[in-house]
Structure 1
Amino acid sequence: MISLKLDIATRMDKSVLGINVQYIEDYKIMINTIGMIQLNKQHTAAYIKDEVMKCLKSYDIDISQIYSNTTDNGANVVKASKMLQEEQAEELCEDQNETANDVIKTIDQITECREVVKTLRRLVRSSEHNVKMPVLDNATRWNSTFNMMQSLLSVRSQIEAGFLQALPSSSKDGDTNLNWDFIIDFVAAFQPLAKCTVQLQTEQYILGDFYRDWLNCEIELEDIGEQNKFAGDLLSAMKTRKVRLLENDAVIAALYLDPRFNYQNSTFLSEVDKSKAMAHLIKTYELIKKLKGTDEYIQNEHRSISANSPSLETPSTSSFYSKLEERISLLDNSSPQQTISIKQKLTDLGNKKRVPFETDVLKYWKNINFDEDISSIVKVVLAVPATQVSVERAFSALSLILTKWRSKLSSSTINNLLLTKLNYKEIMPSSIDLSECSNLNA
């Protein structure tokens, strides 16, 4: 089973639906782009869902093989994701971005700062002064708003040192008054969340890492104190969103398989949480068995403990007691053997000691070489993406493919060029030494 990541970007008046798959191979997260599909109709949820299904079908991927799908918070993409969920998969959204937006949309001063930045950027361009250009944000991306506020602080000393006064009066036709106390409080409050966002961009990043960094962000906001209104509002929004986050079965299941959160007498998971996670994991295990379609996975549910016990060598036929040994061996094999169900195996995971938050959980599972049944579940559940940022990165290739000289490329050509570029490592043999190729041209 694999997980999907979906997002939509627009360039040169062309809208492209990006589809990534994420899975675990040898206890490492693997990400591949399987679709860069030009959307030629209105972006309804039904249309997006149909395009996703067509893409999956082209790779012979059945919807039953999709464990989860992660999207941004665009209404049409979220609705399409929910429609996919009705077919099979769990649906996750980026609660972190939505948390920040919940607070930012209530702050009127941001609009004023944005207008000041526009004025400052025009003044900097028209002047000969060596002043760093402040960054203009994208109103739909909270982290770009944070970067804009930071950039204002970085040029504060130059502004207050008389940069504006040195300009000709004819050029100062915009309001450049700034509330520095507001900007300082804003940057201080959103700094912890911005650091958390940087962590999200790590490739080997699982849901347990996301939850750990979320909790750490809450603590940092608490330390800032109530004197910063934005920190208090952000902390309140995070706690509200966290409740919704923990209602998602895929999240609870991932935390259950994370020894940093599920351990003996854990304070992170209630008994209700554990029961919910257990039911979801058993359901996932049954799906894995069904997809495998072999008797081996059915029998593994009641695998014998004695299978792991050292076996005795068959006694020599010349031994005086050979017939007695054979008789006892037959009796042992016919005796009822103690079995462990998948439920008991999952229950036992909560009886271990907690590991530090710095632990690489994927390496942890690889090193302990656990039961095959549990390992098969781990590789599915821990592969769930905490964000669809890899799709956003994939969209950066659009600027290289779609230019004003190549704006009339067909949908299939765009898709093929992007897939080739984004999956270059998988397409090209690793044995080719590109340095040797460059030497041939020398």
Structure 2
Amino acid sequence: MKNIIDPICRGLSEKSNKPFTLNSRSCKCVLKQVANNTREEVKKELNKRLISLKIDSASRLSRNIFALSAQYINNYNIQSRILGMVELKGVASSSSRNIAAEIMKILSKYGVGLNQVVSITSDNGANMIKSSKILSHCSVLKEDRDDVDEANDVYLKNIEMFNDTLKIQMGDIEICRCAAHTAQLCALDSTKDPVIKSYLMNCRNLTKYIKKNSNGYREIFELKKLALPQLDCPTRWGSTYNMIKNIYNSKDVLVNIESVKNKSQDENFELNDDLWAFIKSYYTVFEPLQKTIIKFQAEALHYGDFYAQWLRCKLLTEKILQTHDDSLSHTIGKNLLRNIEIRTSKLLTNDSLNACLFLDPRFNHTLTADKRADAITYLKKLYDRLKEMGCIKSDKTNSFNNTSVRLNEEHREDEDEYINAYLCQNLEARNDDDIDVYSKIENLKLSFQRISTNVLEFWKERQFADPELYALTNICFAVPPTQVTIERAFSSLKLILTDNRNRLGQDMLEDILIVKLNPMYLDKAVNELSLFEDMDGIMDSVD
């Protein structure tokens, strides 16, 4: 490789009459520059913008990595940007106080103050459960390991801890649980029913038996190309359903297994017709919830689409109960629906969700009077924050070159946007003297739209008629109910932090991740490099 690279470097040096070397020091220097250029581009985007934050944590090769991302709407689409991924070291590093300090430290790099933050969303996870008094709700990738045979009493205890909630404040902002987490909680709630819990413990012990090498089932499953059941875990979304499904699909192989009795509570199971009936019923009843969990993990939804999926799950579960008359399906189904109702009630205490439903033409009419009042109060406060930030234009008139719809290159490529901007050039900008925005919020009534409606597109069409409400929708629908984008960021961690590269320093690791996880800025960040300048000073700082 050196024989290839050195002639290229010499040629570049001769042509520019400036030294050009390619070694580990210069690579580190270029990485630092590209990462800093990327941060500057993100900083420009976040300037004078209300944003929502997502936090998460992952454990990789005994290193605990904390991540922070920002979410907002730009050009009618939800945008997510990774702001930082830092290693938490020491006993108290994962305390809520230190997490808050890390958030502030990362935000300061982008010139973002707490007055710009609308919400901070987090999640539960395995590492956070293990550390009992640290920031709850951080979703964590467990250490790279195959399924661990977790004892049943530990499993049940972890479910209880998974349900625990700690209220952590940053100024006036409360770090709240990821709404999509509700789907997994509903699955875990079923273990509170003694009948269902008993059957599930049987399934867990059966799974342990199947996985035990000395019993010979691994080879049989491989020969028949069947998925080997994996033990479920509270922090692994949908894992109970997957365990049940794989057992159900392997019935022909497992039906002749003899029950295990007179051993420990983690080994005994009774494989009979009743257990097979439970497995079939659970597999059937929980299918809509499992599809919902997968949807929440696969797509970055806004609260309106999140609620649409949640409602779909509830209605399809009710439909299954109407078409199945066996007692076990009804026991499992009624238990699940009861849990869904309870969790839905808790969801609707979320101001961000209520505001989105209020602004969503599919659900505006479904809110109760109290929830409408809560949404209206929340939106008024949010509007005041928009005005304080200078996000609501107060100019009396618009011009073709300086209108509320900015004529950037993207708009010029869209003829409709270009014409709209032209027609708006002499319109008087509405302000509080022209219209009472508070009254407009209070009296908002939206015509019902079908469930397939793209809400962001709906409000895009109304941006000229209702600019203040349009501005509010850009804030509300940017609040993340799921952790998809930040979860994907941690997938990259496996590729970068490997056994052979476990000694990467914190700064270099974060720079690599910032560049990799914000690829939309890479070309511009690279174009702004000064490769032929004397970088000794910068290299010294990198070292």
Task: State the TM-score bracket (shorter-chain normalisation).
Answer: 0.7 to 0.9
Q: 1:224-239 maps to which residues of 2 (within 5 A)?
A: 224-225=320-321, 227=327, 228=329, 229-239=331-341
Other-structure match for 1:77? 135
Aligned counterpart for 1:216 among listed residues 312, 316, 322: 312
Question: Residue deviations 1:55-100, cap 9 Å, x none?
Answer: 1112111111111111113573348984345433573433222222
Question: Residue deviations 1:325-373, cap 9 Å, x none?
Answer: xxxxxxxx9xxx98321112223421x3111111010111112334221
Other-structure match for 1:29? 78
| TM-score relative to the length of structure 2 | 0.65
Other-structure match for 2:277? 181
Per-residue deviation at 1:118?
A: 3.2
1:389 aligned to 2:484?
Answer: yes
1:404 aligned to 2:506?
Answer: no
8 Å contact kept, 2:168–2:174: no
SS at match of 1:420: helix
Question: Residue deviations 1:131-173, cap 9 Å, x none?
Answer: 423131441224012111111122222334x7x79xxxxxxx9
- The code of the aligned residue for 1:152 comes to I
1:360 aligned to 2:454?
Answer: yes
Other-structure match for 2:229? 135
SS at match of 1:244: helix
8 Å contact kept, 2:355–2:375: yes
8 Å contact kept, 1:221–1:232: no
Q: 1:123-162 maps to which residues of 2 (within 5 A)?
A: 123-126=216-219, 129-140=223-234, 141-160=236-255
1:54 aligned to 2:96?
Answer: no
Equivalent-residue separation in structure 2 for 1:278 and 1:97 (angstroms): 30
User: Unaligned 5+ residue runs, structure 2?
Assistant: 1-49, 139-165, 259-266, 399-422, 528-543
Other-structure match for 1:340? 435
SS at match of 1:408: coil
- The code of the aligned residue for 1:344 comes to S
Equivalent-residue separation in structure 2 for 1:215 and 1:186 (angstroms): 20
Equivalent-residue separation in structure 2 for 1:416 and 1:431 (angstroms): 14
Aligned counterpart for 2:114 among listed residues 43, 60, 63: 63
SS at match of 1:114: helix
8 Å contact kept, 2:187–2:336: yes
8 Å contact kept, 1:35–1:55: yes
RMSD: 3.2
Equivalent-residue separation in structure 2 for 1:60 and 1:274 (angstroms): 35
Per-residue deviation at 1:429?
A: 4.8
- The code of the aligned residue for 2:63 comes to K
Other-structure match for 1:113? 203
Q: Kindly tell me: are residues 271 and 32 of structure 1, through their superposed partners in 2, closer, same or farther at Cα, counting changes over 3 Å?
A: same
Per-residue deviation at 1:282?
A: 0.7
The 4+ residue runs of structure 1 with deviation greater than 6 A are 173-176, 297-300
1:91 aligned to 2:176?
Answer: yes
Q: Percent identity?
A: 30
- The code of the aligned residue for 2:313 comes to C
Q: 1:310-325 maps to which residues of 2 (within 5 A)?
A: none
- The code of the aligned residue for 2:339 comes to A
Per-residue deviation at 1:188?
A: 1.7
Count of residues paired in the alignment? 386
Q: Kindly tell me: are residues 25 and 148 of structure 1, through their superposed partners in 2, closer, same or farther at Cα, counting changes over 3 Å?
A: same
User: Unaligned 5+ residue runs, structure 1?
Assistant: 166-172, 301-309, 314-332, 433-442
Q: Kindly tell me: are residues 279 and 90 of structure 1, through their superposed partners in 2, closer, same or farther at Cα, counting changes over 3 Å?
A: farther
Other-structure match for 1:280? 378
